Amino acid sequence: MQPCSREMQAMNSLLSPTQPIPLQDLQPNGNSGTHQAQIHNPQFDPTSSHDDFLDQMLSTLPSCSWSDLKSPWDPPKSDETPPSNPDNNAGFHYDEILASKLRQHQINGGGGGTTAAMKMMMQQQMLLPGRPIAAAGGGGLTMPLHNDIVDGSSFKSPNQQGGEGSVQALYNGFGAGPLHGTNNQSPNQPQHFHHPQGGNMQTQSFGATAGTVMNQSQASGSTTGGTPAQPKQRVRARRGQATDPHSIAERLRRERIAERMKALQELVPNANKTDKASMLDEIIDYVKFLQLQVKVLSMSRLGGAAAVAPLVADMPPEGGDCVQTTAGGGGSLQRNSNGNQPSANNDSLTVTEHQVAKLMEEDMGSAMQYLQGKGLCLMPISLATAISTATCHSRNPMMNKGSSSNHPLLQSNGDGPSSPSMSVLTVQSATMGNGGLDGSAKDAASVSKP
Amino acid sequence: MDSQHLNPSSLKSRFTATFLRALIKINAQKPISSSSPREIFQRYRRIKVAADKSMAYSVRSRRTWSRATLWKLRSRSRSRLASSGRRSSVKTRTTTTTTTTTTATNHRAAIVEKTSHEKENKEDHVGLAVQAEELRELVPGGESMDLCNLLDETAHYIKCLTTQVQVMKKIANLYSLE
């Protein structure tokens, strides 16, 4: 049982008090919070790609609080409802990951029972809250132990019982002993359940009988599949032993997805969502934001002094004077961290501006959110233009707009029809100094005239 | 952070070296103070492409998204060379790019159609089909991957993007300081 021994060692190390430190190192991305400064892994190795069980366990360890895993053991019900307690999920993941890894090492062929048994064995050993119930109890637990990892509802039961209560159980054995026996037979379960004492002994015996149990479990697994019995039993069988290869594959798949989502959670800021869908939304927004940042940065690097920052600021129109400035002194990304303002001058770039505006349109909310999260902010264009007009030319390109006459407040409403939602552009406040604006407006007028 | 940056084999330093080289080349090609918006846009485009390309090079072919990006760039340049020749006017270049993009998109669309059916079956089970599709569009080369690998690629892609942004910010600072 090579994998078992390795896992045992891993567990031993796990239970040592020095967990936090190695955990950090073993995170797939190297560091959870400080990724900015410390992205130095040449290769990104998510734990799932490793065959290394240790990584998995260590990475998922902090998320599960074993004490929270206590909950009344539900008699085998076919509740597939996701547990209310997120910690349970975490614990489940942990167990599931272990289980899946173990499974991978094992003979998969038809050994649904075996894998389930092994998994359950591991689970109950992992869930160690000081429960007097012995591993045997956990064995009985097998029933509710369904292989649906993500739901984790079934784990409630294992938690209860699996509460091996003794750390020694962990050390002793990956004896899947009790699990197997109880898989198919309901009468056995109550017996196991009432086994609370002698946990150690039992675990030891489990370890001893692991081999035999495995065989048993295989047989039992097959029989379980064929046992029609009462509906209760059938349910139990289904949950405890997914002998169907499809469901096993499904389970594996879901486990992997959950792992990856967790890894992603650490990379993406504001990732405190527990819901998978919202987490994915966050991820999508973050990727869009990063891509937008690359675009903006490449635009701003077009030259030394006269860099271009055709950004747009989503400012509400002021008093009906909704002004649009194309590519204007754009609400440049003010980099608080560096204290540098990337660029003050703005040349008119209709095309780029449209592109960027389009991007910002979609993402504005999330973009702003991320900016704030990173300590950046979008500067209102009025402010930026104030700075730029102070220096020199603020060419407010009314390019194709053609329509604007010498309105003191630069109106470029030509944009309106083309992109209705582009009310996003600058706001030239009336206080901005009409003089400057007039000058620029005249400029614009001259420019725009064909 | 400096000590890490000095690590010659890290992703960051590899990317920085490649990108700086490309940037120097681009700056040498054209005068910085080009006024026409078209040219400026072209330059921006070239820089962005250079950034993405150098990032993909730094990752080599270890990742699907980098492979897809490199393939895209290469096919684009190849078709550009084939159809318009090296010294083409700006307009031609733009049109060629668009055509190439469309062909690439068509190709990708074919792949998507082929695999989307099975993908949807799987993902409906998990209930994340819509977002998965969106993510596929964002991450280069993500069309032909199941959700599991897609998430993997996304994580690595995010890491690389953050590196890219970091380096580019620093370079921009250097530029603005001059």
* A263 vs B55, higher pLDDT: A263
Contacts of A347 in chain B (CB under 8 A): 35, 37, 40
Q: Tell me: the pLDDT tens digits for A61-120?
A: 454 455 554 544 544 444 444 444 444 444 445 555 555 555 555 554 444 444 444 444
The answer, for B107 touching chain A at a CB cutoff of 8 Å, is no
pTM beyond 0.90, yes or no: no
Chain B residue with minimal CA distance to A246? B122
The distance of A200 to chain B (nearest Cα, Å) reads 40
Contacts of B132 in chain A (CB under 8 A): 280
Q: Say if residues A115 and A45 touch (Cβ distance below 8 Å).
A: no
Q: Do A290 and B161 touch (CB under 8 A)?
A: yes
Chain B residue with minimal CA distance to A269? B158
The number of beta carbons lying within 10 Å of the beta carbon of residue A314 is 17
Q: How far is the C-alpha of A91 from the C-alpha of A88, rounded, in Å?
A: 5
Q: Do A284 and B138 touch (CB under 8 A)?
A: yes
Contacts of B10 in chain A (CB under 8 A): 39-42
Dihedral (CA of A297, A300, A303, A305) sign: negative
Q: Provide the pairing of β-strand A376-378 with A333-335.
A: antiparallel
Q: Flag the least confident range among A54-63, A260-269, A422-431, B135-144.
A: A422-431
Q: How far is the C-alpha of B166 from the C-alpha of B178, rounded, in Å?
A: 19
The answer, for B169 touching chain A at a CB cutoff of 8 Å, is yes
Mean pLDDT score across all residues of chain B: 68
First-to-last C-alpha distance (Å) of chain B = 23
Give the tokens for residue B91: 């307009």
The answer, for B151 touching chain A at a CB cutoff of 8 Å, is yes
Q: Is residue A382 part of a domain?
A: yes
Give the tokens for residue A317: 């129109």
Query: Alpha helices of chain B — where are they, by DSSP H?
Result: 2-5, 11-29, 37-59, 64-84, 90-126, 129-138, 147-177
Q: How far is the C-alpha of A378 from the C-alpha of A312, rounded, in Å?
A: 9
pLDDT at B45 over 50: yes
Q: Say if residues B118 and B129 touch (Cβ distance below 8 Å).
A: no
Q: Is residue A70 part of a domain?
A: no
The distance of B82 to chain A (nearest Cα, Å) reads 26
Dihedral (CA of A84, A88, A93, A98) sign: negative
Q: Is residue A271 part of a domain?
A: yes
**Which residue has tokens 């940042």?**
A293
| Chain B from 55 to 74: CB within 8 A of any A CB | 62-63
Q: Rounded to 5 degrees, what are φ and ψ at A334?
A: -85, 120
Rounded to an integer, the average pLDDT of B124-130 is: 64
Q: Do A301 and B172 touch (CB under 8 A)?
A: yes
The distance of B1 to chain A (nearest Cα, Å) reads 6
Of B1, B52, B147, the CB nearest to A257: B147
Q: Say if residues A297 and B168 touch (Cβ distance below 8 Å).
A: yes
Which residues in A264-360 belong to E strands, given as ranges?
A: 333-335
Chain B residue with minimal CA distance to A338? B173
AA identity, residue B133: E
Q: Chain A to chain B, count of Cβ pairs less than 8 Å apart?
A: 170
Query: Which segment, A51-55, A175-179, B142-146, is predicted with the most confidence on average?
Result: B142-146
**Which residue has tokens 């369904």?**
A146
Give the tokens for residue B138: 């964002």
Query: Which pLDDT value is given to residue B63?
Result: 73
Q: How far is the C-alpha of A286 from the C-alpha of A79, rounded, in Å?
A: 36
Chain B residue with minimal CA distance to A275? B128
Query: Which pLDDT value is given to residue B16?
Result: 76
**Radius of gyration over every alpha carbon of chain A, rounded to an integer in angstroms:** 31
User: Which of B12, B33, B44, B146 to probe by mutation at the A interface, max A CB count within 10 Å?
Assistant: B44
Give the tokens for residue A296: 């903006």
Rounded to an integer, the average pLDDT of B38-47 is: 70
* B165 vs A188, higher pLDDT: B165
* A261 vs A449, higher pLDDT: A261
**What are the angstrom distances between the C-alpha of B16 and each of A307, A404, B12, B160, B168?**
20, 45, 6, 12, 8
pLDDT at A433 over 60: no
The distance of B17 to chain A (nearest Cα, Å) reads 15
The answer, for B93 touching chain A at a CB cutoff of 8 Å, is no
pLDDT at A153 over 70: no
Q: Say if residues A163 and A139 touch (Cβ distance below 8 Å).
A: no
Looking up residue A285, the CATH number of its domain turns out to be: 4.10.280.10
Residue A356, exposed/middle/buried by CB under 10 A (0-12, 13-18, 19+)? buried
Q: Do B155 and A341 touch (CB under 8 A)?
A: no
Q: If you ran DSSP here, which 8-state letter would residue A63 be given?
A: T
Q: Do A267 and B168 touch (CB under 8 A)?
A: no
Q: How far is the C-alpha of A114 from the C-alpha of A132, rounded, in Å?
A: 26
Contacts of B151 in chain A (CB under 8 A): 257, 260-261, 263-264
Give the structural domain span for A269: 242-299
Q: Tell me: the pLDDT tens digits for A316-354?
A: 444 444 333 333 333 344 333 343 434 433 444 455 555
Of B52, B132, B152, the CB nearest to A46: B152
Number of domains observed in the structure of chain A: 2
Q: Do B155 and A308 touch (CB under 8 A)?
A: no
Dihedral (CA of A220, A222, A224, A228) sign: negative
Q: Flag the least confident range among A296-300, A336-340, B112-116, B151-155.
A: A336-340
Q: Is residue A22 part of a domain?
A: no
Q: Is residue A293 part of a domain?
A: yes
The ipTM assigned to this model is: 0.72
Of B62, B126, B176, the CB nearest to A254: B126
**Which residue has tokens 């998922």?**
A60
Q: Tell me: the pLDDT tens digits for A398-429?
A: 433 333 344 444 333 444 444 444 333 343 34
Q: Is residue A308 part of a domain?
A: no
Q: Is residue A440 part of a domain?
A: no
The distance of A337 to chain B (nearest Cα, Å) reads 11
Q: Say if residues A327 and B16 touch (Cβ distance below 8 Å).
A: no
Query: Which segment, A27-36, A212-221, B13-22, B155-164, is predicted with the most confidence on average?
Result: B155-164
> Can you name the residues that pair with A321 across neighbouring β-strands?
A318
Q: Is residue A372 part of a domain?
A: yes
Residue A102 CA to its chain's centroid (Å): 24
Q: What kind and span of H or E run contains A433?
A: none
With vertex at residue A37, the alpha carbon angle to CA A33 and CA A39, rounded to the nearest 5 degrees, is 85
Q: Say if residues A60 and A48 touch (Cβ distance below 8 Å).
A: no
The distance of B78 to chain A (nearest Cα, Å) reads 24
Q: Give the DSSP per-residue string, A211-265.
A: HHHHHHHHHHHHHHHH----HHHHHHHHHH---SHHHHHHHHHHHHHHHHHHHHH
Q: Rounded to 5 degrees, what are φ and ψ at A188?
A: -65, -35
